[in-house]
Amino acid sequence: MPGEALQVRNIRKTFNPGKPDLPIVLDGVDLSLEQGELVTVIGSNGAGKSTLFNVIAGTVLPDQGQVILDGEDITWQKEHLRARNIGRLFQDPHHGTAPNLTIEENFALVYSKATRRFPLALALHPKERLIFIETLAKLDMGLEMRLKAPVGTLSGGQRQAITLLMATLIPPKLLLLDEHTAALDPVAAKKILALTVEISGAHNITTLMITHNITSALETGNRTIMMHQGRIVMDLTGEERSRMTVEELLERYRERVHENLDADRLIFN
């Protein structure tokens, strides 16, 4: 039986507490993920999705609660220490790579940090270079022939693919994907999403993925959670999730929170 890879216990967070006009951002969030689960996260703007990710990653410290990763309490652990076990991608394809360094050098930095071979090494061993070439070839983007190209010269989709590969080259215990396909064109977004599912499945990486694409949220991974005003208001798995339509999901949301889902950024197909 798979064990619990991530436990979020009663997480609360309020920014600038004491001011009555500022809401609680996270209001007692409880969430457990089993090893290898890919869970999609949906909700309107301001629901607390990114703040939850920030608390898990250590960018923001909670006012209350615990974050436990692979049995270790990391609630107060510094962000750079968590980064050894947590990979993260953001909406902006430019985030997570060094634009002035080549593809090869960006990959080498990942390896040097993981192996601690020597600080910020920009040289690759032949075996490592072969791994990069084989991995890049799977993208079918021709990047395996451009190892010497600066990352800053790549398209958004190519750069996000590189970032995803870098984040999972040394498989993390947890992968946080914060709308990592939102800024890409539909073709690139579809390719990156497929690559995400393939990589997380191949390495059994526990994954949380924020998305505003409702259809994708219901079809990707094995579980979907919905957040509203800092709380998880829906947790869909199994047959219930597989049979859920977008229309039924929105109707259930209206029934539970007594308001319509903010559709400003939602995608329904």
Tell me the DSSP string of 94-161. Answer: TTTS-TTSBHHHHHHHHHHHHHTSSTT-----HHHHHHHHHHHHTTTSSGGG-TTSBGGGS-HHHHHH
The number of angstroms, rounded, from the C-alpha of 61 to the middle of its chain's C-alpha atoms is: 18
pLDDT of residue 173: 96
Rama region for 58: left / alpha / beta (φ>0; ψ in -120 to 50; rest): left
**Lowest-confidence pick of 94-98, 171-175, 256-260:** 256-260
Residues in CB range of 58: below 8 A, 6 or more apart? 74, 77, 78, 79, 81, 82, 83
Q: Counting Cβ atoms within 10 Å, is residue 20 exposed (0-12), middle (13-18) or buried (19+)?
A: exposed
* CB atoms inside a 10 Å sphere around CB 239: 7
Higher pLDDT, 16 or 145: 145
* pLDDT tens digits for range 125-162: 777 788 888 888 888 888 999 989 999 999 988 999 99
- Is the CATH number of domain 1-85+179-269 3.40.50.300? yes
Pairing of strands 64-69, 4-13: antiparallel
Q: Determine contact, residues 55/62, Cβ cutoff 8 Å.
A: yes
- Domain locations along the chain: 1-85+179-269, 96-171
The tokens of 259 are what?
């308001």
Structure confidence at residue 269 as a pLDDT band (50, 70, 90): very low
